[in-house]
Chains A and B, each alone.
Chain A
């Protein structure tokens, strides 16, 4: 019994030399690696499609006209290709949404993280997470058939499709998102910082404003940036309620198309593949992608900086 044990090499060595075992391990690792690479391929695919289709567009339209002309009418006889009206629509709706969502979201986050009892927080936080998942087409319904008629009672001149109603609903839609992300950031501030502040005689409010909020700044900013990115990329609410007419205006009482609403409008019609109108949605999409990409990277960096500090 003992002699055989001495003759045989140790189990670990036998396993190390097992060719089948090692080969399988390699194969599995490579398969998994390709799955991870797929994520990179999606980004590359997006960039590739946007660039190739938009390059056809920019062969016909000068970049100068695209960026400076104040008219966007690619589907009309008298075609103009200035992206500015779509950008003004996007900025106006996003601005309205964020003026609602950022203050309310921040106050809600501070309250939930610093003031609310354990029970309140444990009830409200899941509700916020639930609300983040409500599909946006439903919010389009609210904007068109609930908020706009309400606003029209206050201001009878308001058109059925207007940026104000769409912006307000979009703001309400983003509140749970900002509140939830900002609250996570504030909860991540170590407890002993609060305890230090309380020990000096500070009240809850003083601690929240002068200790916790400054400590969580980058995390809160990340919440704002991700909120902005959501507002800019939001499609269904504006496509349903903000109007389809590209107008260069910052007046929320008017209707105007956003970048996303334009893409939806064109995609619903049946434009032939390769036509200038078809390519124009990729040019618009590229602008949208670049804007949200910048915000996403900024948000990611802010979040990472925050995560590294604690």
Chain B
């Protein structure tokens, strides 16, 4: 090491011949080329691995992916089994999640960005939100098990699962709301204040309107994550074999809306996939692959929409 250093110092002091300089430039250019090839190879390798895995999954599940698969209840015979109760369950759980997390998350984000004074209390809330985003999802499952199932006696129902995933999604919505709001210039707010708007009017008529795209991105990403979450739903105790549908939310008798479905037992797509995956028979693994393909499609479409939306917003910002 020492020797190498002294050599390079000498070479700095000594004037080099043209040949030496050319050799040096060549070797540096070679290093550049080598690294950029390694980098390109690495990325290609990683993306290709993931692509092979996805293609393998979709090919395994392809024979099952027909209308019948979506219209059948799970069954003890793999050939008859479908994901009807799973996708209905997922949709209803997502509905509860959306209603829980979105208003609260946006409100919290607005408060932290527009109202909160800069003090130790706000700091604590901030660190909290960051930490919550990194808490393993299964811990939320334990929270839900102890709190919703056994303290509030909500049981192992759709409302419990929806609330659990709502809590999980909350930090994602808060963080994206804050980021979206932060990118709005102060001048916009000052202009609104100057014509006599109150703080809430500024927030409602300007801040939320202009950051709506960013907030929507966060909501979609959060919903996609909640849709694919398995672990917290397992701890809450989703049943894996559900051969019935929850009561319909709309009824033919007045008042036409029923909330009975909230109290219903349920299963969701990832749980259905997991339970098929834990069976030893190969036929059920094919069902698992088909369910996996459905889950991947849904989350890819949702995340894709969110990313496209964000890209468009970045491009269209005029200030």
Contacts and interface: CB of A to CB of B under 8 A. Distances in A.
Contact of A235 (B56, B230, B277, B299): B230
A215 interface: no
Contacts of B128: 39-40, 42-43
Interface stretch (B68-76, B78-86, B288-296): B288-296
B139 interface: yes
Interface stretch (B183-191, B243-251, B253-261, B303-311): B303-311
Contact of B36 (A179, A204, A206): A204
A135 B295 contact: yes
A188 interface: no
Interface stretch (B3-11, B12-20, B107-115): B107-115
Interface in B126-148: 127-132, 134-143, 145-147
B142 A285 contact: yes
Contacts of A230: 134
A130 B230 contact: no
A108 B174 contact: no
Nearest to A130: B303
Contact of A133 (B131, B134, B145, B303): B303
Contacts of A11: 196
Interface in A1-60: 11-12, 15, 21, 24-25, 28-29, 31-33, 35-40, 42-43, 45-46, 49-50, 52-53
B270 A31 contact: no
A261 B184 CA distance: 44
A303 to B, nearest CB: 9
Interface string B95-130: 000000001110110111001100000001101111
A205 B273 CA distance: 45
B237 A32 contact: no
Nearest to B114: A32
Contacts, number: 263
Contact of A135 (B36, B228, B285): B228
Contact of B131 (A172, A288, A296): A296
A268 interface: yes
B206 to A, nearest CB: 15
Contact of A299 (B45, B134, B221): B134
Interface string A166-209: 00000010011001000000000000000000000001111010
Nearest to A144: B277
B127 A130 contact: no
Nearest to A14: B196
A130 B28 contact: no
B147 A45 contact: yes
Contact of B108 (A38, A127, A300): A38
A229 to B, nearest CB: 5
A12 B194 CA distance: 10
B31 A289 contact: no
Nearest to B236: A267
A111 B125 contact: no
Given A46-B139, A130-B303, A138-B296, A264 B231 contact: yes
Nearest to A303: B130
A112 B231 contact: no
Contacts of B231: 136, 235-236, 239, 260, 263-264
A281 interface: yes
Nearest to B103: A35
Interface residues of B, number: 89
B303 A135 contact: no
B277 A46 contact: no
A105 to B, nearest CB: 8
B108 A142 contact: no
A134 B57 CA distance: 13
B110 A50 contact: no
Interface string B214-229: 0000000100110111
Interface of B: 28-29, 31-32, 35-36, 38-40, 42-43, 45-47, 49-50, 53, 56-57, 60, 103-105, 107-108, 110-112, 115-116, 124-125, 127-132, 134-143, 145-147, 150, 167, 170-171, 174, 196, 198-200, 221, 224-225, 227-231, 234-235, 237, 270, 273-274, 277-278, 285, 288-289, 292, 295-296, 299-300, 302-304, 307, 311
Given A110-B39, A137-B274, A288-B138, 17 more contacts: A28-B200, A33-B115, A36-B116, A39-B174, A111-B36, A136-B231, A140-B274, A142-B57, A175-B46, A176-B46, A205-B28, A233-B139, A236-B270, A263-B141, A263-B235, A264-B231, A267-B237
18 contacts: A15-B196, A32-B108, A38-B104, A39-B125, A42-B128, A108-B43, A133-B221, A133-B225, A137-B228, A140-B274, A204-B36, A208-B35, A233-B138, A233-B139, A263-B142, A282-B142, A292-B135, A292-B136
Q: What 6 pairs between A and B have smallest CB-CB spacing?
A: A135-B228, A111-B39, A233-B136, A35-B107, A49-B146, A32-B111
